Amino acid sequence: MNRKLLHFTADWCRPCQMMEPVIKLFLEENPDVEYQKVDVDTEFDIAREYDVMSVPTFVGLINGEVSNRVLGAVPKARIEELYTHPVEPHFDSGMIKETDAMGREMFWKDAGRP
C-alpha cells in the first residue's frame, strides 16, 4: 500500500507553521508515508486540482486515490485518521456540487489567478 500526505500550506499562515512539529512527528512515526508540502501561493494548480480552499489542508492518498482530508490545525491523531478512516468528504452535498465549479472559479479570480 502506497501512502502519501499532501500538506497544503502558505508562508503567511500561522496555523500552518504550528503544524510543522506535528507533521514532523507523524512522519518520524510513519516512515513509509511519502510527504509533499504544497505552497498554495506558488503551486496553485495543484491546490486547484485537490479543491483546496483554505490552509492548512492535509490530503491523504492511498495508492494515488484520495482517502480523506483534514482542514485546519489539528492533533496528530487527526492526521493519522487520513489513512485509518477513509470517508467521503463531509462537504459533499448536492447543493455544493451544483455551485462548486462556479465557486472555485470565483475564488481563484479573487485571488488574482487565471
> Which residues are marked as active site?
13, 16
Scan for cell 483546496, then name that residue: 52
Q: Calculate the CA 62 to chain-centre distance.
A: 14
First to last CA, the chain: 36
Strands 3-9, 33-39: pairing kind: parallel
Scan for cell 472559479, then name that residue: 105
Instruction: Give the CA radius of gyration of the chain.
Output: 14
| Residue 78: burial class (beta carbons within 10 Å; 0-12, 13-18, 19+) | middle
